[in-house]
Amino acid sequence: MVSESNSEIDFAAPPAPIRDMIEAPVTQVARKPGRPRRVTLDAVVDAACEFGIDQIEMGPVAERLGVGVATLYRYVRDRDHLVELVAARRSRREGVVDRGQSWQDALRESAASAFAVFSRTPELIGHIMSASIADETDPQTTDRLLGLLVDRGFDPVDALNAYQQVQQVVAGAVVGHAFRRALEVKFGGYGGLVRHVAGLLGGDQIPVLRLAIEAGGEPPVVGDYRATLELIIANYEGRLEGPRTGQAATRSRL
């Protein structure tokens, strides 16, 4: 700077802007709260689970983790791989615990658990249909349920068939449940859909369907697996009362 008393440059005193920089206190830049930048595969899946399955994109997931998109590819092959991992994570549920309950109640518990999971995330049904996730539960969880059924008198083949029948009924009920909710929003219910179609085509074009709705109202079984589940249970009750063969008979003699 130039001294007011003379025109000599005062080298002892640095220019004001530099002096201000030197004398200014050093402040630490606060780290933004959130997940640490070091991530794991579990952390990537956790972050992706915060989005709907159909809304998962690499960019928003990376942003949620505070990393670049390129970092995600260290853990997953691509978006489809990440979607598969999220679908598998969401489809997991607590297995049926053997508390000494009847096999009938064990199947009811399994069905209720599956319906709760898939009703919350119906998109999982599509991933099961396309084999994006191999099964709707962890295989060991399934195996424990099958073991419970065998302990109650099933042979392994019947145990697996009963399990798959129940899962198929539940999957259909989940689709029906979603369909019913959509109808309520769009037409005010199943009856509203029938009346809408009758208005377009004429009531004489769908006479039986129109009479069924007028006589009984909306079918209560839409989105409800329980009535069909009881039919499955009754079928196996009848079969187990007959002569037992194979492993089931061996277990009964022990």
Nearest CA-CA partner of 115 in 173, 44, 38: 173
Tokens of 70: 């390129």
Q: What is the mean pLDDT of residues 181-209?
A: 86
Confidence of residue 251 (pLDDT cuts 50, 70, 90): very low
Residue 185 has pLDDT above 80, yes or no: yes
Percentage of the chain lying above the pLDDT 70 cut: 72
Residue 24 confidence (pLDDT): 43
pLDDT of residue 61: 94
Q: What is the pLDDT of residues 224-248, one digit of tens each?
A: 999 999 999 999 999 887 544 444 4
Is 229:169 a contact under the CB 8 Å cutoff? yes
What would the pLDDT profile of 125-143 be if each residue is shown by its tens digit? 776 666 655 544 468 888 9
Burial class (CB in 10 A: 0-12, 13-18, 19+), 89: middle
Q: Which tops the pLDDT comparison, 222 or 60?
A: 60
What three-state secondary structure class fits 99?
coil
pLDDT of residue 162: 97
